[in-house]
Structure 1
Amino acid sequence: MTSAERRRYGVVGDPVAHSLSPALHRAGYAALGIDARYDAVRVPAGTLATHVAGLRPEWGGLSVTAPLKREALALADTVTERATLAGGANTLVRTERGWAADNTDLPGAVAAVRERYDGPAGVATIIGAGATAASVGLALADLGVRTVRLLARDPGRAEETVRALAGDPRLEVDVLPLEGAAVVGEVVVSTIPVAAQDEALVAATGGAAVVFEVVYDPWPSPLAAAAAERGQVLVSGLDLLVHQAVLQFGQFTGHNGPLESMRAAGEQALASR
C-alpha cells in the first residue's frame, strides 16, 4: 500500500444497506482525525472467501454481519477463543500472518449490560435461538449468569445455539418452546423480530430486572416500550452495536474508539430513518 492510499474498512453481509456500522465508524474517524474510509458492501452467502481474496492491500478490516459470520470463521488464518466458542466471527482484521477472526459481540454485550446495570445476574432467559442468542448467552456468563433458559419458536432448530452455550462449562442450558413458557431470572434477552412480540410475551417479561432488546430498528419494540414504562433497566440493540463497534474500531485502527461520538452518530442515523 502506498502512502497515497487511504486505509479502507467496511461491513459485509446480505442485506447490508440498512447497517449503522458506516455511521459509527466514520464518526470515530472524524472524532480522532483518522484518514480512513468505511463502506457497506453487499456480499451474498457463500461468497465471502472469494470477496476477501480479492481485496486490495489497503483493506485493513471487515465488520461481518448475517449471514456471513460462520464463513468468516472458516476463512481466517487465526481465530480467537471467543469466536470459536460462539461459532462465528463478526470481525476480520488483516495481519502480517493473514486474516484474524474475532467476535466483539461477546465483550460488546458485556459492556452494554454493565453500562446500564450493576446488580446480580445468576439466571437469564433468552428469547430466540439464533447466532445472536448464542453470543449474548456466552456474554452473560461473564456477568455471572450460570443458568440460561432458551425459548425457541422451533426448539428443533436451536441445536447450534445450544451447542455453543454448552461449550461454556459455566452454563447450564435448557430449551423450551416459546409459546406459553415462563420467563425466569434477573435478565431477559429478546433476539426475535418485533412482529413476534405478542402481548402474552410482553407481559411475561415483567419480572426481570433487565430487559435486553437486541432490535434497534424499529424502536421502541413492544418489549422495549413495556420495559421503559415498567421502570426496568433497558439495554438496547444500539447499545450492543456501539460497544461492539468500539472494540472493532480499536482492532482496525489501533486507537480506542470514541464511544460517545459513535453512539451519537448511531442515534442520529436512526432518527433520520
Structure 2
Amino acid sequence: MAESRATPGAGPSARLAVLGSPISHSKSPALHRAAYARLGLDWEYSAAEVTGEHLPAFLDGLDAAWRGLSLTMPLKQDVLPLLDEVDELAALTGAANTVLLDGGRRLGFNTDVGGIVRTLQESGVGRVRRGTLIGAGATAASALVAMAELGAEEVRVLVRRPGSAAELESLGHRAGLVTTEHPIASLADEPGGGAAAAAGELVISTVPGGTDLGVVPSAALVAGAVLLDVAYDPWPSELARAWLDADGTVVHGLGMLLHQALLQIRIFVNGDPFAELTDEHDVLTVMRESVA
C-alpha cells in the first residue's frame, strides 16, 4: 500500500468543511474527523450552511488556512465555473463534490463515481451488463458513469418528468452506454411487459431521501436486481423498504458516502484520489465506526 505523502499546503493544521443547504444532517464531519484523528492530523472539519448564491463570496473569503471543501447538491454544479481546474470525472459528469485549495488554486474533483463503484464492489457487485437508474440530477450523472465503469452496456433511466433524462442520454453516449428514458411507472412492469426483464442486475436510486415515487417495484425486478439507494436519511427509504420487505438485496447509501469521503481524504492529504493513505484499512474502519 502506498504511503501518505502530504502535498504542499497540507500542514500540521488545516481547515476543511462540507458546504450545502440544508447541511445540519450531514455525516461528513463525523467521517472526516475520525479519519484525521487516526492519521494524527490536527485538522478542523466543520459544516457550513451555504447556498449557490453565496458560494462565490464564501470561496473568496477563505484564507491560506483552508485546505479543502466537500460539496452537496446543488453546489456540485454551481462550483464548476469558480474552479481553476477539474479532474476528468468532474468534467464528464458536470459535477464536482470536492475542492482542493492548493497554493491559491481551486482544483475540483468528483469522488461520487468512485464512491459508488467501491461500495458496490464491496457488496459483491463487481460487474454489471444492464442497469436501471432512478432520477436525473447530478448524482444520477455520477451513478451512470459508475455503471459504465462496472461494464454496463445498457441503462434505463426512470424519471417522473418526460424529457428530463436528455442530458443523461448524451452522457451515456459519451461514456459508451446505450441510455434510454422511461417513465417512473415502468418500475412496476413485470417481465411480460418487457421492462423488468431489461432492468438488468442493478438498480441505483438517486432521488432525495423521503421521496415517494408513487409506484411499487415489480416482484421480478426486486428478485433479480441489487438496489443501491444513495439516500441514507431517512433510512430505509420507501424504495429500500419495498426491496427489504421482499427479501431483496439492498446496498445502504452510507456506503457511497463512506467511500467517496475516503477518496476526498486522499485528495486533501495527498493531493491525489489514487494515492492511498498510510494504514488506509484502519482509517476506513474508524470512519465506518463513526457513522455505524
Matched, 1:186 2:201: yes
Structure 1 unmatched runs, 5+: 268-273
Q: Structure 1's 70 and 202: CA in aligned 2 closer, same or farther, altered over 3 A?
A: same
2:260 is matched with 244
State the Cα distance separating 1:148 from its structure 2 match: 0.6
CA RMSD of aligned residues (A): 2.3
Aligned positions of 1:23-34 closer than 5 A: 23-34=30-41
* Counterparts of residues 221-240 of structure 1 (less than 5 Å): 221-240=237-256
Identify if the C-alpha distance between structure 1 residues 6 and 160 changes in structure 2 by more than 3 Å, giving closer, same or farther. Answer: same
The equivalent of 2:233 in structure 1 is: 217
- Deviation, structure 1 residue 198: 4.1
Q: Secondary structure at the match of 1:145?
A: coil
**What is residue 167 of structure 1 aligned with on the other side?**
174
- The residue number in structure 2 matching 1:206 is 222
> How big is the shift at 1:46?
2.5
Task: Write out per-residue CA displacement over residues 42-98 of structure 1, whole angstroms, 9 at most, x where no aligned residue.
Answer: 111222222111101110000011111112222111111110111110000012361
Distance of aligned partners of 1:175 and 1:69 in 2 relative to their CA distance in 1, 3 Å threshold: same
2:70 matched to 1:55? Answer: no
Question: Number of paired residues?
Answer: 266
Match of 1:271 in 2: none
Larger displacement relative to structure 2 (4-13 or 15-24): 4-13
TM-score (norm 1): 0.89
Aligned twin of 1:125: 132
Distance 1:244 1:105 in 2: 5
Amino acid at match of 1:8: R
Instruction: Tell whether 2:55 aligns with 1:39.
Output: no
Tell me the equivalent position of 1:260: 285
Q: CA deviation at 1:136?
A: 0.7
Query: Cα distance, 1:146 vs. partner?
Result: 1.1
**How far 1:201 sits from its partner (Å)?**
2.8
How far, CA to CA, are the matches of 2:83 and 2:39 in structure 1? 29
Which runs of structure 1 show a deviation greater than 6 angstroms over 4 or more consecutive aligned residues? 1-5
CA positional deviation for 1:160 = 3.0
Distance 1:106 1:245, change over 3 A: same
CA contact (8 A) 1:211 1:235 kept: yes
Aligned ranges 1:98-177 → 2 under 5 Å: 98-118=105-125, 120-168=127-175, 170-177=176-183
Measured in 1, the distance between the counterparts of 2:144 and 2:224 equals 16
Q: Between the two proteins, what is the percent identity of the paired residues?
A: 41
Cα separation, 2, equivalents of 1:156 and 1:118:
30
Q: For residue 262 of structure 1, report the CA deviation from its aligned partner.
A: 0.9
Aligned residue among 83, 91, 101 for 2:98: 91
Q: Distance in 2 between matches of 1:13 and 1:160?
A: 24
TM-score of the superposition, structure 2-length normalised? 0.84
Q: Distance in 2 between matches of 1:140 and 1:222?
A: 23
